[in-house]
Amino acid sequence: MSKQINISKVKVLFNKILRCETEAEVIEVLTKEGYWNDGRAWRSFGGIDSNYSIIGGQSSNPVAALGEKEINSVDTVLENACLEAGIDPRSKDAPKNMQHASEIFFGIPHGELENADKSTIQKLADKIHLFSSGKKGYDMCVSIADQGTGQTPNNMPKTILSLPGVKETNKTGITFQQGIFNMGGSGSLTFCGNYGISLIISKRNPKILDPNHNPDDEKWGFTVTRKFMPNGRKQNPRYQYLAPHGEVLRFESDSINVLPGKYPTKYSKPLDYGTCIKLFEYKLNGLKTAINLDLNYALSKLFFRLAIPIRIEERREGFNANSPEAILSGMAYRLHSDRSENLEKTLKSGLLNVDQVGEMPIAVYVFKHKMNREKWQKGSEISVILNGQKHAHFPKSLFKRQSVGLSWLADDLMVILDATEINRMAQTNIFMNNRENARDTVEWRNIEKSLEKFLSENQILQDLAKKRRDELLLSEVNDDKLTDDIFSELLTDASNLHDFFPKGTRFKKKTDFDWVKIPGKFKGEFYPTFFRLESKTKRITIKCPKNGYVYVNFETDVEDDYLGRSKHKGKFTCTNKSIYRHLSLFSGIAKLKLQAPKHAKLGQKIEFQTKLRDSHTKQEWKNIITLRIVDPEKRKKSQPSKHHTPKPHDRKKIKNGGCGEQEDTGKPKIILVRDSEQAYEDLEMDKNTAVITRLDQNDITFFVNGDNNFLVRQRQIEKKENPKFLNEIFRLTLGYQCFALYLKYKEKQKNNPEEVDIAKKVDDASEGLAMTIFPVTTQLSQITHSYTNSKSLGD
């Protein structure tokens, strides 16, 4: 430390800045101390002058940027526990992953917080705090404090204040941490007011200091960051930190009072070691409520699982003092604690085996209709996680693809794909450092294709979607003879419409066999007592069409979530991963999908073994399957099915016409919905809504707003006209216009495979179409008729 710094005043300066709640107050303090306008007192963040592009490119979302701070805190708490246990974090004795570390250091069963009791969660949450201060509204300050390893003053530039670019990061070789890109959470600086101001203070845990440490290593080191704007117009700003005479400020103290006390007290409890970072005027756009509410929900969408829970504390005045705190434990913990209040169905036994990627567990959560989506999955409907943290996502519109057929469930689904165990090459090819986007690679598209297949072939989800559809469809229009007749007449009288409909407007209907569940609720065992091939043999040879796929069914008596639950779960493996696609378990039947290798030859036999192992009972069930490659089967003519009276708790394979597909004429359903009906509210219609489109695998439904403002106005204008007539004109005209739009969008999508939410595009366009229907069908036709007649007479 330079002698020019008055050490006795450093702690006073820290406390002054700590109690500032605006950027202006911090600037005023630093100006009075002679630092703000002294360029020599500042160093470039990360030691790089041109750091704006690095820091500015880390995150586009303030919640995600804040989440990186939380991950750093979790990582350092785990590392601190490892070092206190006398284990080198980079040694072979160190935990191999985050869950393992959480289990051995903190006693969390299987390293998953949903398995811990509440008292353990409460105790662990004291290790990491996230709390607010300052103004109520958008200009709040957010502080993060953790009881982790902490850093020595001289080591801060190499860790907390570092950026990518060094040969070795401070986390290199530690397998149980999430932070691997050495960003230091600096992306949050871009959301700190106008000047990027944050206060950073840290102290190394005395228990893990080197015996031969420097005396300065026992001190607290602190600094302030800022965004510096050069005088040159074309020069980019750069981020700096306060380091008078080239070093961060430091002072001696056993502890510092930075932790919040009882609401609304902010800085009253001591922190003995660790790190505290205060972000000034943090721009949490749209999150104006207490941070233990909306911010808590937003963060849980990023963290499906956390190794350490985080205590979130609201300390701004003006909020309800009865509930100013919450504990963030991850989305998996919230779902486990839900007790079916919001969940309708949980499917956790899925497993995808993706080409060039590997095995990916998949969990699907179906929420009850009309639950609060903001608190749960909105914006994160399909998340791909790595070490429990969201790294990328697919758009919700994937559910609405006609090939998937889950449009009716799209608003109520949450899918979690776990990429933690896929091969490292695939991880680096897919994920970007910002944890927000995925690269458009072959691996990413293979995941998308596998997911689409899994969802479209999952009978449970398809049945739930059908149930939702049936609940919403109005009984009086289920047999809409008028629509049928008009559709038929259009095709008869306007033969060119056949040419207008592109190939594919006949909606495909599966004609393979169906597994029929016999009435009676399935109640499985907690552990399986058997797991056998449906043939009840240990070996089986099955035919698989070249370039095609086939299913193998197993019988078992275990619960549906056996392969995906958090503890005491089974593990299913297949020795030939190139042909293994996915396995799903439901009501005593495990359905294994196998696909012929790309270069398989006719007559080739591929033998492999499947194994189910129960980690608790140590039982194993092995089967040998031989796949024989044959010519693709030709479509057979449909044969009448033989119906038998089903036995209770039995299953029967009912043929419905061969293994191919046949085409069925696909006229749309066009349904008028009035504001007095429940469907109006369920579809979230208002006076401006024209059409809500729902796509199934086999058909299309257009819900037309029977109280759209243009239709209401027309009924008022033409009071003598039968309202039902006007409603039908509006319904059918708008419905078929939307159908035409759908066909065109569908055709364009073939030429441009980039994701397009066709249903949304149709719905958006329908609002413009609605205003033209009556002028076109009535007034314009009269004007044109009158005009053409007068011209004829003139001629």
* Cis before 264 (ω within 30): yes
Token look-up 């779960």 returns 569
Angle at CA of residue 627, ends 626 and 633, nearest 5°: 145
Residue 129 has pLDDT above 90, yes or no: yes
Q: Do both 183 and 238 map to the same domain?
A: yes
> Is the distance from CB of 672 to CB of 727 less than 8 angstroms?
yes
Q: Do both 651 and 557 map to the same domain?
A: yes
CATH code, domain with 456: 3.30.230
Note the Cα 158 to chain centre separation in Å: 33
Q: Please, which pLDDT band fits residue 170 given cuts at 50, 70 and 90?
A: low
List, for residues 273-288, the tens digit of each pLDDT value. 999 999 999 998 877 7
Residue 545 has pLDDT above 60, yes or no: yes
Q: Do both 323 and 349 map to the same domain?
A: no
Phi-psi region of 387 (alpha: psi -120 to 50; beta: other; left: phi over 0): left
pLDDT of the residue at 691: 97
List, for residues 594-638, the tens digit of each pLDDT value. 999 988 899 899 999 999 998 888 889 999 999 999 988 665 554
> Is the distance from CB of 528 to CB of 612 less than 8 angstroms?
yes
Residue 505 has pLDDT above 70, yes or no: no
Residues 6+ apart with CB under 8 A from 140: 132, 133, 134, 281, 282, 284, 291, 316
Q: Do both 390 and 249 map to the same domain?
A: no
pTM value is 0.76
Q: Is residue 602 part of a domain?
A: no
Return the bridge partners of 701, or none. 669, 694
Q: Do both 403 and 498 map to the same domain?
A: no
d(CA 135, CA 686): 36
Q: Do both 626 and 713 map to the same domain?
A: no
d(CA 466, CA 460): 10
In whole angstroms, how far apart are CA 676 and each of 471, 672, 766? 16, 12, 22
Phi-psi region of 196 (alpha: psi -120 to 50; beta: other; left: phi over 0): left
Token look-up 């519109």 returns 397
> Is the distance from CB of 353 to CB of 572 less than 8 angstroms?
no
Q: Is residue 711 part of a domain?
A: yes
At 724, list the tokens. Answer: 């039902």
Q: Is residue 479 part of a domain?
A: no
pLDDT of the residue at 538: 81
Q: Which of 402, 408, 404 is nearest to 507 (CA)?
A: 402
> Is the distance from CB of 555 to CB of 588 less than 8 angstroms?
yes
d(CA 535, CA 431): 43
Q: Do both 357 and 457 map to the same domain?
A: yes
List, for residues 246-305, the tens digit of each pLDDT value. 999 999 999 999 999 999 999 999 999 999 999 999 998 877 789 999 999 999 999 999
Residue 403 CB coordination number (10 Å): 12
Q: Do both 26 and 138 map to the same domain?
A: yes
At 352, list the tokens. Answer: 């995808």
Q: Do both 158 and 144 map to the same domain?
A: yes
Q: Which of 37, 36, 38, 34 is nearest to 9 (CA)?
A: 34
In whole angstroms, how far apart are CA 290 and each of 140, 144, 276, 295? 11, 16, 21, 8
d(CA 574, CA 612): 9
Say how many domains are in the chain. Answer: 4
Q: Do both 639 and 534 map to the same domain?
A: yes
**At 81, which helix (H) or strand (E)?**
helix 62-84
In whole angstroms, how far apart are CA 595 and each of 577, 582, 606? 10, 10, 11
pLDDT of the residue at 752: 63
pLDDT of the residue at 64: 92
Among 18-27, 373-382, 567-576, 645-654, whose mean pLDDT is lowest? 645-654
pLDDT of the residue at 714: 92
Among 201-210, 438-447, 475-484, whose mean pLDDT is lowest? 475-484
Return the bridge partners of 414, or none. 365
Residue 456 has pLDDT above 60, yes or no: yes
Q: What number is the average pLDDT over the span 640-660?
A: 43
List, for residues 69-128, the tens digit of each pLDDT value. 999 999 999 999 999 999 999 999 999 999 999 999 999 999 999 999 999 999 999 999
What is the sign of the dihedral through the CA atoms of 438, 439, 444 and 449? positive
pLDDT of the residue at 617: 82
Residue 93 CB coordination number (10 Å): 11
Length of the chain: 795
Question: Torsion angle of alpha carbons 81, 84, 85, 87, nearest 10°?
Answer: 90
Note the Cα 369 to chain centre separation in Å: 19
Q: How far apart are the first and last CA of the chain?
A: 102
What is the sign of the dihedral through the CA atoms of 233, 239, 245 and 251? positive
Q: What number is the average pLDDT over the span 766-770?
A: 94
Q: Is residue 179 part of a domain?
A: yes
Question: Torsion angle of alpha carbons 411, 585, 558, 389, nearest 10°?
Answer: -60
Q: What number is the average pLDDT over the span 728-754?
A: 82
Residue 499 has pLDDT above 80, yes or no: no
Residue type, 603: G
Beta strands in 691-766 (DSSP E): 691-695, 700-705
> Is the distance from CB of 43 to CB of 230 less than 8 angstroms?
no
Q: Is residue 96 part of a domain?
A: yes
Q: What is the secondary structure of 436-467 as a DSSP string?
A: S-B---HHHHHHHHHHHHHHHH-HHHHHHHHH
d(CA 53, CA 85): 40
pLDDT of the residue at 472: 72
Residue 757 has pLDDT above 70, yes or no: yes
The runs of H, that is alpha helices, within 458-593 are 459-472, 481-493, 496-500
d(CA 531, CA 179): 41
Residue 74 CB coordination number (10 Å): 28
In whole angstroms, how far apart are CA 355 and each of 360, 361, 410, 581, 791? 11, 14, 26, 9, 68
Q: Do both 648 and 690 map to the same domain?
A: no
Q: Do both 211 and 63 map to the same domain?
A: yes
Return the bridge partners of 539, or none. 624
CATH code, domain with 222: 3.30.565.10
Q: Is residue 456 part of a domain?
A: yes
Q: Is residue 593 part of a domain?
A: no
Q: Is residue 792 part of a domain?
A: no
d(CA 243, CA 408): 58
pLDDT of the residue at 265: 92
Could you list the residue range(s) of the whole structural domain that residue 362 is in?
Answer: 340-472
Residue 424 has pLDDT above 80, yes or no: yes
pLDDT of the residue at 184: 52
